[in-house]
């Protein structure tokens, strides 16, 4: 007689049967609940989340302020009308808060007190934010060409994929959007190839999926200058780097530049799906004319997600999480560099704030490290097709004690590894 499947085994079987799979080797933790920096599985184990759902849970899992905001909003109204038609208070309050935070970052980065008059366009995700930014650039400039960077990642939808500089993603879906040129990331000399035909340059301030690649300090200022010279818009993709992840509210602050269009996502929603892009009112205006409604969204700015995001931003402000990320990130990076000196399998530790990459000598060592950490209750992540880099991005609320425990697990994994 066949054994009857129960509990988590049955759920695992249904997961494989009914949900489309993204790989042949999913991590497979059967989630019961999550709180703070920890995820609890149905078999009674707990895991320290050192990847934050890929840089999403910056304020930790299920923050009580976020849960309360979602509950209160759910009792009032859910979807009422497509974005831009009805005045929904929670959308307005989130936009006001987000614009204020971003404008303050612009002022710090630029050293200017000018009124930026930014506006926010909400989307459901980061890739939709990049799609909207690309369309905005074409319509505002009247130009067709885009410039992006090799090894970049901007999302999986067709437009975002078209400006993603990795053939492993692009090749299966060709032909993609035409008129895209890829330049080497961090190479100032190549920026001369940006000319008056370019509508926009899209760039991650720190490349995430490429393995946490931080550019030379002269690169982003030179890129900003070149875009100004030729009249191209500069789109900075801060979907992963934003909201304190790198030790500042936004990564562009490290280089004292500001973008023309800023795209956001991931951590913005406090655990709910929300993205968006911000630009000056005069730029955003082109979406409302010739013709009006030329870029619309049904669920972008959903009231529940806006309520969650507003609560999350208030937590980030109140607890000064960007500064905490800078301090805690430096402590963690120092401890990881000590590991690297002890174990020659680790080639390099790099990053800013709590966005850190640990590069190993081989693909096999990297895979074994991620797998063995998981077995010991520590969740770290690979970087998709950058096969020698482990990505570390814990919640910004991570404690010193939790960091010490995580590093002790990593050390034990390294000492006992057979790879």
Which pLDDT does position 386 carry in this prediction? 83
SS3 at position 200: strand
Pairing of strands 261-264, 355-360: unpaired
Distance of CA 161 to the CA centre of its chain: 15
Task: Kindly report, residue by residue over 311-342, the tens digit of the pLDDT.
Answer: 999 999 999 999 999 999 999 999 999 999 99
Which pLDDT does position 2 carry in this prediction? 43
Cα dihedral 66, 67, 68, 69 sign: positive
- Neighbour-count burial for 220-230, b at 16+ CB within 10 Å, e otherwise: bebbbebbeee
What average pLDDT does the chain have?
Answer: 95
Q: How confident is the model at residue 5 (pLDDT cuts 50, 70, 90)?
A: low
Task: Kindly report, residue by residue over 353-399, the tens digit of the pLDDT.
Answer: 999 999 999 999 999 999 999 999 999 987 667 889 999 999 999 99
Measuring CA to CA, which residue among 231, 185, 181, 175 is closest to residue 205?
185
Please say whether the beta carbons of 418 and 80 come within 8 A: no
pLDDT at 114 over 80: no
- Give the C-alpha separation, 313 to 91, whole Å: 13
Domains of the chain with CATH codes? 8-62+321-416 (3.90.1150.10), 73-318 (3.40.640.10)
pLDDT at 212 over 70: yes
pTM above 0.75, yes or no: yes
Mean pLDDT of 301-311: 98
- Give the C-alpha separation, 153 to 385, whole Å: 11
pLDDT at 1 over 60: no
Q: From the CB of residue 379, how many other CB atoms can be counted at a distance below 10 Å?
A: 21
Angle between the N-to-C axes of helices 321-342 and 400-416, in degrees from 0 to 180, rounded to the nearest 10? 20
First-residue to last-residue Cα distance in the chain = 40
SS3 content of the chain, % helix, strand, coil (to 5): 45, 20, 35
DSSP state of 214: P
Task: Kindly report, residue by residue over 35-87, the tens digit of the pLDDT.
Answer: 999 999 999 999 999 999 999 999 999 999 999 999 999 999 999 999 999 99
Q: How confident is the model at residue 26 (pLDDT cuts 50, 70, 90)?
A: confident
User: At a CB cut-off of 8 Å and minimum separation 6, what does 74 contact?
Assistant: 304
- Give the C-alpha separation, 342 to 214, whole Å: 24
Which pLDDT does position 47 carry in this prediction? 98
Task: Kindly report, residue by residue over 175-200, the tens digit of the pLDDT.
Answer: 999 999 999 999 999 999 999 999 99
pLDDT at 352 over 50: yes
Which pLDDT does position 118 carry in this prediction? 97
- Give the C-alpha separation, 367 to 417, whole Å: 11
Q: How confident is the model at residue 227 (pLDDT cuts 50, 70, 90)?
A: very high
Between 4-18, 36-50, 99-113, 223-237, the lowest mean confidence (pLDDT) is in 4-18
Which pLDDT does position 419 carry in this prediction? 58
């Amino acid at each position: 007689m066949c054994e009857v499947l129960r509990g988590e085994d049955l759920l695992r079987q249904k997961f494989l049967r009914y949900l489309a799979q993204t790989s042949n080797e999913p991590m497979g933790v059967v989630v019961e609940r999550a709180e703070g920096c920890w995820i609890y599985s149905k078999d009674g184990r707990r895991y320290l989340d050192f990847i934050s759902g890929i840089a999403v849970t910056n304020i930790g899992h299920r923050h009580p302020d976020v849960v309360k905001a979602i509950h209160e909003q759910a009792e009032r109204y859910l979807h009422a009308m497509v974005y831009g038609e009805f005045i929904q208070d929670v959308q307005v309050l989130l936009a006001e808060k987000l614009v204020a935070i971003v404008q303050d970052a612009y002022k710090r980065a630029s050293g200017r007190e000018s009124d930026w008059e930014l506006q926010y366009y909400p989307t459901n995700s980061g890739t939709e934010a990049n799609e909207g930014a690309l369309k905005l650039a074409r319509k505002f400039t009247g130009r067709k060409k885009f410039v992006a960077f090799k090894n970049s990642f901007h999302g999986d939808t067709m437009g975002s994929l078209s400006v993603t500089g990795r053939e492993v993603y692009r090749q299966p879906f060709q032909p993609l959007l035409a008129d895209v040129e890829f330049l080497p990331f961090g190479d100032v000399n190549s920026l001369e190839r940006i000319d008056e035909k370019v509508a926009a340059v899209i760039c991650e301030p720190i490349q995430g999926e490429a393995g946490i690649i931080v550019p030379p300090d002269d690169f982003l200022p030179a890129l900003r200058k070149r875009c100004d010279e030729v009249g191209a818009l500069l789109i900075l993709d801060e979907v992963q780097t934003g909201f304190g992840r790198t030790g500042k509210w936004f990564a562009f602050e490290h280089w004292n530049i500001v973008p023309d269009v800023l795209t956001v996502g991931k951590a913005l929603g406090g655990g709910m799906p929300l993205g968006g892009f911000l630009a000056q009112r005069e730029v955003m205006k082109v979406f409302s004319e010739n013709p009006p409604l030329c870029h619309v969204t049904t669920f972008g700015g959903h009231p529940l997600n806006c309520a969650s995001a507003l609560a999350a931003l208030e937590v980030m402000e109140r607890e000064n999480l960007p500064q905490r990320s800078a301090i805690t990130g430096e402590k963690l990076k120092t401890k990881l560099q000590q590991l690297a000196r002890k174990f020659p399998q680790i080639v390099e530790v790099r990053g800013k704030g709590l966005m850190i990459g640990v590069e190993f000598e081989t693909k096999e060592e990297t895979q074994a490290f991620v797998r063995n950490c998981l077995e010991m209750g520590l969740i770290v992540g690979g970087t998709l097709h950058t096969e020698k880099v482990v990505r570390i991005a814990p919640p910004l609320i991570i404690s010193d004690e939790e960091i010490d425990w995580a590093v002790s697990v990593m050390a034990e994994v390294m000492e006992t590894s057979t790879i």
